[in-house]
């Protein structure tokens, strides 16, 4: 019986190298297909959808989601969730603008804000890791608190950043490629490396896949959990800095709902909400899919409320497919 099982397993793993590659990356291949379908459908329906200017728009939209999504992928792989990222980004923008207005040099202000955002994430992670408060609750509280704090600090009015040149950081481009997209790609490379090649990254998978086994193996489970929240905190505040730069002001209402776009993109990208499974490339495709879908719906002139309906359905279908396939895999073994 056992040898038969091994043979079956071997058979599953063998086959042509292309076939093997496709099977092991079924999720990514499927997403590329979904994006192609989306482009084929949107190209004739949405005016100017394929123009290079619009493609760069899609990239810019994708960037704000993508930058945070890399960290969110690790959070979900670790079996956690962080819904505070949008509020953290808005809060960071407001703090940044107020610092600059009070004479703090821009570069220093940016660094301080990102450190603050990282510390906030680390604190949330500590509450989860050391006191077992569910990460959903911790970050829900942060989501409320940070947005509220930003509103109090700015009286809910945009805090204008006087230095016009600062707007280049988030609003400029290099040869037509928006700066945020460049940051997104650089960070993607870093996070692919972290997730595949570092002890920290692989420990995230181990903790999310089986926290008990990780603990008994001597992996510092609490530190890993704190680490992933520190990362989303850091990335959220960085995205907040880019937002503030692009808008030329710190806005307490900025990035509203961003957390849901980010989580949706990660989940559409095939990362398991139960932890242990997921990839940065999958998330990249999820981010592009969500950005292109949103952009296309706008260009088609779909009613904004209806857009939300469509996005909701798409996210639901993606999660459905993800969970059904996970179960099927579990049964196959």
Partner 1 sequence: MTAPSAPLIELSNATKRYPGVLALDDVDFRMAVGEVRALLGKNGAGKSTLIKVLGGTERLNEGALRVAGKEVDFRSPKDAIAHGIGTVHQELASVPAMSVAENISLGRWKTRPVTGIAWKEVSTDAEAALAHVGVELPLDAPLSTLSLAQAQLVEIARALSLGAKLLILDEPTSSLAVHEVDLLLQVVKRLSERGIGVIYISHRMDEIERLASSVTVMRDGRIVGELSAGEATPQRVVSLMVGSVDPGDPVEAIPTDAGDVALSVAGLTIPHRVLDATFEVREGEVVGLAGLLGSGRTEILRAIVGAQHGATGTISLGGKPLRRRSIRSTRAAGIFLTPEDRRAEGAVVMLGVDENLVMGNWKKVATAGVIRRERMRETVTATIKKLSIKVPRIDVEISTLSGGNQQKVVIGKALNTEPRVLLMDEPTRGVDVEAKAQIYTLIRRLAASGIGILVVSSETEELLQVCDRILVLRSGRIHENLPIRDVTRDALFEHMIRKETDD
**Interacting residues with partner 1 (CB under 8 A):** 1-2, 5-6, 9-10, 12-14, 197-200, 202-203, 205-206, 209-210, 212-220, 276-277, 333
Strand partners, 178: 173
- Give least dist CB 29 to partner 1, A: 18
Judged by CB, which is closer to partner 1: 199, or 324? 199
What is the chain's length? 333
Q: CA–CA separation, 181 vs 175, rounded Å?
A: 12
Q: CA–CA separation, 68 vs 229, rounded Å?
A: 11
Judged by CB, which is closer to partner 1: 154, or 203? 203
Question: 128-141 in b/e burial notation, b at 16+ Cβ within 10 A?
Answer: bbeeeeebeebbee
- Give least dist CB 215 to partner 1, A: 6
Judged by CB, which is closer to partner 1: 14, or 308? 14
- Give least dist CB 313 to partner 1, A: 29
- Give least dist CB 15 to partner 1, A: 11
Judged by CB, which is closer to partner 1: 228, or 292? 228
Contacts of 326 (CB under 8 A, 6+ apart): 272, 274, 277
Phi then psi for 168, rounded to 5 degrees? -65, -35
Q: CA–CA separation, 276 vs 77, rounded Å?
A: 5
- Give least dist CB 226 to partner 1, A: 15
Judged by CB, which is closer to partner 1: 36, or 213? 213
Judged by CB, which is closer to partner 1: 246, or 277? 277
Closest residue by Cα to residue 259 from 280, 235, 294, 242: 235
- Give least dist CB 110 to partner 1, A: 26
Assigned token pair, 285: 């495709």
- 159-160 and 173-174 beta bridge pairing: unpaired
């Amino acid at each position: 019986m056992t040898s038969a099982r091994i043979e079956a397993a071997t058979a599953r793993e063998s086959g042509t190298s292309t076939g093997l590659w496709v099977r092991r990356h079924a999720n990514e291949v499927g997403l590329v297909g979904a994006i192609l379908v989306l482009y084929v459908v949107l190209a004739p329906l949405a005016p100017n959808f394929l123009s290079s200017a619009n493609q760069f728009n899609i990239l810019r939209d994708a960037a704000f989601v993508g930058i945070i999504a890399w960290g969110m992928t690790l959070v979900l792989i670790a079996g956690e969730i962080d819904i505070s990222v949008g509020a953290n980004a808005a809060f960071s923008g407001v703090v940044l603008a107020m610092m600059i207005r009070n004479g703090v040099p821009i570069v220093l202000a940016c660094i301080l804000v990102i450190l603050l955002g990282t510390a906030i994430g680390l604190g949330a992670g500590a509450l989860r890791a050391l006191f077992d408060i569910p990460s959903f609750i911790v970050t829900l509280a942060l989501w409320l608190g940070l947005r509220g704090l930003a509103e109090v600090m700015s009286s809910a009015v945009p805090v204008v950043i006087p230095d016009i040149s600062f707007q280049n950081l988030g609003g400029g481009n290099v040869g037509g490629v928006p700066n945020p997209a460049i940051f997104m790609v650089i960070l993607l490379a870093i996070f692919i490396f972290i997730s595949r090649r570092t002890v920290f990254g692989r420990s995230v998978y181990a903790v999310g896949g089986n926290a008990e086994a990780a603990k008994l193996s001597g992996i510092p489970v609490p530190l890993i959990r704190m680490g992933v929240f520190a990362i989303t905190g850091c990335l959220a505040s960085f995205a907040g800095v880019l937002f503030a730069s692009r808008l030329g002001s710190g806005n307490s209402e900025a990035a509203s709902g961003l957390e849901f776009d980010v989580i949706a993109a990660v989940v559409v990208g095939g990362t398991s909400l139960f932890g242990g499974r997921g990839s940065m490339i999958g998330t990249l495709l999820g981010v592009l899919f969500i950005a292109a879908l949103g952009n296309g719906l706008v260009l088609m002139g779909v009613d904004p409320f209806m857009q939300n309906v469509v996005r909701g359905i798409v996210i639901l279908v993606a999660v459905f497919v993800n969970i059904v396939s996970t179960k099927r895999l579990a049964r196959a073994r």
